[in-house]
Amino acid sequence: MLITDILTENARMYETRTALIEREPAINKRREITWALFDKHANCISNFLIQKGIKKGDRIIQLMTNCLEWLPVYFGILRTGALAVPLNFRFSSEKIELCSMTSTPKLFIFGEEFIERLESIKKTLDQTVSAYLFTGPENIMPVWAIHYNEIFNHPDWNHPDVPITIEDDAALYFTSGTTGMPKAVLLTHKNLSFACEVENRHHKQTHDDNFLCIPPLYHTGAKMHWFGNFLVGAKSVLLKGVKPEWILEAVSEEKITIVWLLVPWAHDIIIAIENKDVDLARYNLSTWRLMHIGAQPVPPSLIKKWKKLFPDHDYDTNYGLTESTGPGCIHLGMENIHKVGAIGKPGFGWEYDIVDGEMKHLPPGESGELVVKGDGVMKAYFKNPEATRETLVNGWLKTGDIARCDESGFVWLVDRKKDIIITGGENIYPVEIENFFMTHDKIQDVAVIGYPDERLGEIVIAIILVKKGQSITEEEVRAFSQHLPRYKRPRKIIFGDVPRNPTGKIEKPRLRRKYIHLPDDLRKTL
């Protein structure tokens, strides 16, 4: 079934029931929308876009922060037969311009936060963009834009008559760019529909579930986890803000059953509880059945602490990437809590293999590149046949992640292929060292990168973020690291921030730019 038809069915079956709730605790704001209104708004948006000349196969950029309008806009675009192109709302003007040059959008939908960024590159955008739709307050709308409310001045609530098949192109999602400039991942309607089924099979959502969505909707991880609720017409809450008390309040007041967290947010909740900044007795968390984490390696020590605080929660982790239509190609499973640390086995409808550089199978225990195959594999990198050929090989998607499997078939993520540190001929996987340091009670976050060295090739640097209210010396860190093999011990300890992108991944290119070009006198101390 087309993903747009799932929305039609939800509106028919659950017409007056709540579909989406938006919570913005910073200003005490709450809004909601029913399934019927969600469906009608998507139709109205779609018909308006068609009136503006949008045709099947066109691209429409969606640059919005999370809000109640986000998903109706997305589905409205899909119903035109055009491709939705959600952009990272943290992108600079330069990256927005690059993504626009790649996707050549015909129409641009944007919020108030992006006026200045767009004005600085509008001359480039105007080469393909015929209209700009503004979703912010009317009193600050640029003169060159059309206001979102105009869609509803003369609304056409009917389902648009555009023939769409399951094999048609549906969306372009730009990668996070943690290892370089973002690439445009082309997904089909089949990819999106498959993601709905995968998520629902993994987490067993029913119509009575309520999913708390915190990550940005432009990211496949957030939206595709929401898909599990969407498939069965279950409600979901969009939370604007990540403070621990806001998350717990949302769970308590909205009777949330499922929460997907990033590692830093789970850390923040644990620390807030340990420091008594939040009092669990104030919240009714009895409905909360599942906490799951994805988008990055998960330190086992984190989950052990979580289970002590919340022993009745099911836990799961899902591995995926934009090129696999988000999470789920590898899936731990709620029943496999004893395997915390592994990312799991093949998800529903997926296959995996661990291969060497020649795409030859490697036996259990050996580290190689993780490759996956299933209906969630992207169609291609848009307008990038060379990168497509390098990444898609005989139906297999090369993930760029180094992994190993054990005798039971569980996959253990070792590290990003491009993040491996080679010192004296030995391969060092930063994730292993990061997970080790995360077991220290005073350390909140850590990132490990390689530093060029004439003799060894590279040496290990650890950037450590200390927990608020705690202190730790370099000598303490070095004493703690004695439990590591000598060649894995950091040669340099730096106390500082660990930058992460909106999906929780450590921004290692940013750390390399900051620390690799150190002055010569500091380099000699390494």
Q: Give 299's DSSP letter.
A: -
Does residue 464 fall inside a structural domain?
yes
Residues 139 and 91: beta-carbon distance below 8 Å: no
Domain that holds residue 437: 420-523
Q: How confident is the model at residue 479 (pLDDT cuts 50, 70, 90)?
A: very high
Q: How confident is the model at residue 454 (pLDDT cuts 50, 70, 90)?
A: low
Give the pLDDT confidence score for residue 521 in this predicted structure. Answer: 42
Mean pLDDT of 83-108: 93
The alpha carbon of residue 123 and the mean position of all alpha carbons in its chain are separated, in whole angstroms, by 31
Does residue 490 fall inside a structural domain?
yes
Per-residue pLDDT of 220-270, as tens digits, reads 888 999 999 999 999 999 999 999 999 999 999 999 999 999 877 888 899
Q: Which CATH number goes with the domain that contains 487? A: 3.30.300.30
Q: How confident is the model at residue 520 (pLDDT cuts 50, 70, 90)?
A: very low
Percent residues over pLDDT 70 in the chain: 94
Per-residue pLDDT of 145-182, as tens digits, reads 999 999 999 899 999 999 999 999 999 999 865 445 67
Does residue 43 fall inside a structural domain?
no
Closest to 442 measured CA to CA, from 301, 292, 280: 301
The structure tokens listed for 405 are: 């499997």
Percent residues over pLDDT 90 in the chain: 71
Per-residue pLDDT of 428-438, as tens digits, reads 778 888 888 98
The structure tokens listed for 273 are: 């509880």
Separation of alpha carbons 131 and 85, rounded Å:
15
Does residue 307 fall inside a structural domain?
no
Per-residue pLDDT of 103-123, as tens digits, reads 999 999 999 999 999 999 999
Domain count, the chain: 1
Does residue 311 fall inside a structural domain?
no
Does residue 456 fall inside a structural domain?
yes
Does residue 494 fall inside a structural domain?
yes
Mean pLDDT of 418-433: 74
Separation of alpha carbons 50 and 58, rounded Å:
11
Reported as type and span, the H/E element at residue 517 is none
- Return the minimum-mean-pLDDT range out of 31-35, 38-42, 118-122, 364-368: 364-368
Does residue 130 fall inside a structural domain?
no
Neighbours of 491 (CB within 10 A): 16
